[in-house]
Amino acid sequence: MKFSGRRKKSQSAYSEEQQTMDPKGQKVKLNDGHFIPVLGFGTYAPQEVAKRDALEFTPFAIEVGFRHIDCAHAYQNEEQIGQAIRSKMADGTVKREDIFCTSKLWCTSFRPELVRPALEKSLKSLQLDYVDLYIMHYPLALKPGEELYPKDENGKLIADSVDFCLTWEALEKCKDAGLAKSIGVSNFNHKQLEKILNKPGLKYKPVCNQVECHPYLNQRKLLDFCKSHDIVLVAYSALGSQRVKGWVNPNHPVLLEDPVLSAIAQKHKKTAALVALRYQIQRGVVVLAKGNNKEWIKENMQVFDFELTPEDMKAIDGLNRNIRYCDFHPGVGHPEFPFSEEY
């Protein structure tokens, strides 16, 4: 007697588990015991539309099932994101514990005494008592002050001499105080991660390293390094990147027009964007998807509806060409500039 509901043996345990749980609830366990949803909503937008986009698209993202919201002080829209989260809590769509909210410590607040006030400022803007994850945005300390990008008369960023290991100790205190459930880093290379991991008296390891990651910059070496230390890699610019003037090299090829991605997408009757997101999830990478279009935001949730074959994964692995869209060139010359290392 045949059961039509029986699954083919070839499907991985991953997909079995995926089919037995609410796909939107897919999470990865962090090294401190908390869980992070594998798909996150990125809230960065160019300055002129950042606030408007946050108000318009964050509530919609929550409505269609996003539970992981990635924010940052430097995006200058945390107040609007706070309003969006509040509105979805008020109308019963979500409770606070359903939302995983990340914020980031900006580089001008790396002096230990500035860390907690910076976090408290973000919490006030977000109208939250705690964030689920607080991360150092870059490993580069910059001169403290109101300006996000303090520059000298030659237009060069002004560095601050604080050691980011001391900043990390201040983050540990924020975790102990319950202001952040988990703490991590962003844009660190493996040597900078090692510096924290080998720090005398380390209390908490970073739970994650959030970096640019996509098929043209697949970060294989950094991913292996992070996995070996039980650090989750979180991918931003997973679809290539918005062409943000001054931030993104406009001469790079457009990832989503890649013929290999397009062919795999056609085979699965999905878009190239979904294939690029799915690729990360199957490598154990937490992936952020930005959206300034409701159709795309909704479409991103389909990442749980299909599975790439080992052949697909191998073909996408083969696309790596170490193209970095967000090269943070204003930071070149800073003693802690992270992207001079191979990984």
- Cα 306 from Cα 46, distance rounded (Å): 32
- Cα 333 from Cα 310, distance rounded (Å): 41
The separation between CA 285 and the C-alpha centre of its own chain, rounded to angstroms, equals 10
Rg (CA), the chain: 20
The helix or strand, by DSSP H or E, that contains position 165, with its residue range, turns out to be: helix 164-176
Contacts of 253 (CB under 8 A, 6+ apart): 216, 323
Dihedral Cα 152, 156, 158, 164, nearest 10 deg = 180
- Give buried/exposed letters for 183-208 (b at 16+ CB in 10 A, else e): bbbbbbbbebbebbeebeeeebbbbb
Q: Is position 329 annotated in a ligand binding site?
A: no
The separation between CA 232 and the C-alpha centre of its own chain, rounded to angstroms, equals 10
Angle, CA of 279, 39 and 176, to the nearest 5°: 125
Report the DSSP beta bridge partners of residue 169: none
Q: Which among 44, 75, 134, 216 is annotated as catalytic? A: 75
- Cα 106 from Cα 141, distance rounded (Å): 9
> Identity (one letter) of the amino acid at 162?
V
- Cα 88 from Cα 28, distance rounded (Å): 24
Reply yes or no on whether 204 is catalytic. Answer: no
Binding residues for substrate: 137
Residues involved in catalysis: 75
Binding residues: 137
